[in-house]
Amino acid sequence: MKKKLIPCIYLKNEKAVAFFSDNTIVENDPSALCKRFADYGADELLIFDLSKGDEEHERSLALIKEICGTVKIPVIGAGNVNRMEDVKKLLYAGCKRAVLNYSKQSNIDITKEVSDKFGKNKIIASVKTMDELTDNKDLIFQYTKTVLLHDLSIAKDDFFKNTGLSYISILPKASLDKIIEHLKADNCEGITGEVVNENYKEYEGIKGLVGETYVPFSTYKLNSDGLIPVIVQDYRTNKVLMLAYMNEEAYEKTLRSGLMTYFSRSRQSLWLKGETSGNYQHLKALSYDCDSDTLLARVDPDGPACHTGAVSCFFNDVLTYDFEEKNPLEVLNDVYSVIEDRKLHPKEGSYTNYLFDKGIDKILKKVGEEATEIVIAAKNPGAGEIKYEISDFLYHVMVLMVEKGVTWDEIMTELANR
């Protein structure tokens, strides 16, 4: 199990405060704080919404959504959960998981409903006492995958052993030895709390001391310079971005920090991609080929991969045969770009510009009409007609998306979160 370092952020009045009972502001810009944690190698974020009242709660949800869209690591949402709708709001804001507070009977009561609706991997049960854990153990075992422990005395492997459950410990200030002790426990998924927040500059070093088992660098066949080539690919589009090289130190730093680090052959030194440009590459997956002499890194890039400003370093064509792009996201993004260009640079006689000129009511009318056409086509024998109607529908939906400023990347993120 990968051991996680999970900073904890407490939101109050759209600021990051010190603790549940301490409203001292530690950061006026929680998004910047979260990004700072992520850039230093945090594996996940735990965000508690401490808002009071519906209006402040909605502002907190908007801020959580902003954070989820900004950072490149998963977010756990907690606080202000009373019914399933509250869990839904956190997950739809972009949180990968939501916390149910087992000090509140209302949260215990909705566990099965929430788990059945969203899946047990989306739910974390928060317990503060051993009684809360043991009294609800059947519910927790059946409908959740992870427990958030407020009391360190509960963190006993003999309770969690062979249950399929993992736990996250909330740690106050602690020595490095104590941190390592908790992280090395078999069922410990990670640690959070004050100790993680205050040691954020040491995340990479802590991960090195935990001794997680990765594929050792000695597995690979290296070139004459002792390096292994790395093909870098956008994990969303599968576009190949660049080719770089790693030595053992770059490999270890990449695995521990989650940020792509290479060995620069020209400078003969380590190279953290994005350190000067801000175009960091966040590692999503790393694999090696059948000959063990090449790595493939799938990444989430913060910006262009190439020093020229191009998205990919591979933009000089040698030979191109005619072909149609079939990658669904690429096709949708290409059509979206054409529609967006029509809005920015109107073209006489363009049907797209006709829709934009008529305004939102006309666009909505066409979306409704095309949806109806799909229904009618589906009632006819065969599926041939449906693909044409769905294509018409998607085109008009994209016109609506451009009009409202919604991108396909946002839609794909929303679907993935569900």
Predicted confidence (pLDDT) per residue in 176-198, tens digit? 888 888 888 888 999 999 889 98
The arithmetic mean of pLDDT across residues 111-120, rounded, is: 94
CATH number of the structural domain spanning residue 411: 1.10.287.1080
* pLDDT at residue 155, rounded to an integer: 67
The arithmetic mean of pLDDT across residues 25-53, rounded, is: 92
The reply to whether 387 and 257 lie within a common domain is no
Q: Is the pLDDT of residue 160 over 90?
A: no
The reply to whether 184 and 221 lie within a common domain is no
- The b-or-e profile of 128-160 (16+ CB within 10 A means b, else e) is beeebbeebbebbeebbbbbbbeeeebbeeebb
Containing structural domain, residue 139: 4-210
* pLDDT at residue 393, rounded to an integer: 96
Alpha helices in 239-359 (DSSP H): 248-257, 328-344, 351-358
Q: Are 342 and 350 in contact (CB under 8 A)?
A: yes
What confidence category does residue 401 fall into, taking pLDDT thresholds of 50, 70 and 90? very high
The reply to whether 296 and 385 lie within a common domain is no
The reply to whether 194 and 72 lie within a common domain is yes
Residue 318 lies in a domain: no
* pLDDT at residue 293, rounded to an integer: 97
Domain boundary among 210, 228, 263: 210
The reply to whether 279 and 350 lie within a common domain is no
Q: Phi, psi (5° rounding) for residue 318? A: -100, -50
For strand 261-264 and strand 15-19, is the pairing parallel, antiparallel, or unpaired?
Answer: unpaired
Q: Are 242 and 230 in contact (CB under 8 A)?
A: no
- Residues whose CB falls within 8 Å of the CB of residue 411, separated by 6 or more in sequence, listed in order: 401
The reply to whether 128 and 225 lie within a common domain is no
Q: Is the pLDDT of residue 214 over 90?
A: no
Select from 159, 171, 109 the least CA-distant residue to 130: 159
Domain boundary among 175, 192, 210: 210
Q: How far apart are CA 279 and CA 379, in angstroms?
A: 50
Q: Are 79 and 49 in contact (CB under 8 A)?
A: yes
Q: Is the pLDDT of residue 414 over 90?
A: no
Domain boundary among 181, 210, 239: 210
The domain total for the chain is: 3
What confidence category does residue 416 fall into, taking pLDDT thresholds of 50, 70 and 90? confident
CATH number of the structural domain spanning residue 244: 3.10.20.810
The reply to whether 263 and 347 lie within a common domain is no
Helical pair 203-210 and 248-257, crossing angle rounded to 10 deg: 100
The reply to whether 273 and 153 lie within a common domain is no
CATH number of the structural domain spanning residue 149: 3.20.20.70
Residue 315 lies in a domain: no
- pTM score, whole prediction: 0.77
Tokens of 336: 């979206």
Q: How far apart are CA 262 and CA 273, in angstroms?
A: 7
Distances (CA, A) of 334 to 83, 282, 408, 411: 41, 24, 10, 15
The reply to whether 48 and 169 lie within a common domain is yes
